[in-house]
Amino acid sequence: MTDGWSDARLETTYSEARAVLEAQNDTISDVDDKAMRTVRVTVIVVGLVASAVRFAGNTFDVLWLAISGVAYVGALVTGVLTYAESTLYLEPGRGYVERLRRNEFGGRDWRQDLLATYGEWIEQNDRAIRPNGQLLFLTRVLLVAGVASTAAAIAF
């Protein structure tokens, strides 16, 4: 066996678990990137709307403009929350490394324990990724709602 694994099944399981953890990292990085890009776009749109309101004066419908303001603030808040909530388990922390060093696994082989721990991390990461995807969706919906209500403020 390669990499010091005594069993092909364990080695394959380890490789697959690492691949899942890396894919989860790629997914959350993508969500974070999209959230920050959406926040940047929202800031630019808010700046454009604020400038237009300043120069155009009372040509905007105040109610629709207020609705768009709430939507833009919501998009900014949810976008930042999406980015801030992205904490995944990707590698052993100091405590786990110390347990490995001292061989403190209650009679269980360290490889078995590592694989079990990877399984727990995969589940925890999945629980973190799902709400982040939902927050990203909400961020984008709020941005679109802001743009639509700004258009309504101009039209009415």
Calculate mean pLDDT across residues 85-90: 79
pLDDT at 109: 86
pLDDT surpassing 90 at residue 146: yes
Helix or strand (DSSP H, E) at 27 = helix 8-56
Q: What are the extents of the domains in the chain?
A: 8-155
Q: How far lies 131's CA from each of 2, 71, 78, 101, 124, in Å?
A: 38, 20, 11, 35, 12
Banded model confidence at residue 1, pLDDT cuts 50, 70, 90? very low
Predicted TM-score (pTM) of the model is 0.83
Condensed to tens digits (0 to 9), the pLDDT of residues 107-128 reads: 888 888 889 999 999 999 999 8
Tokens 């790629």: give the residue: 26
pLDDT at 156: 87
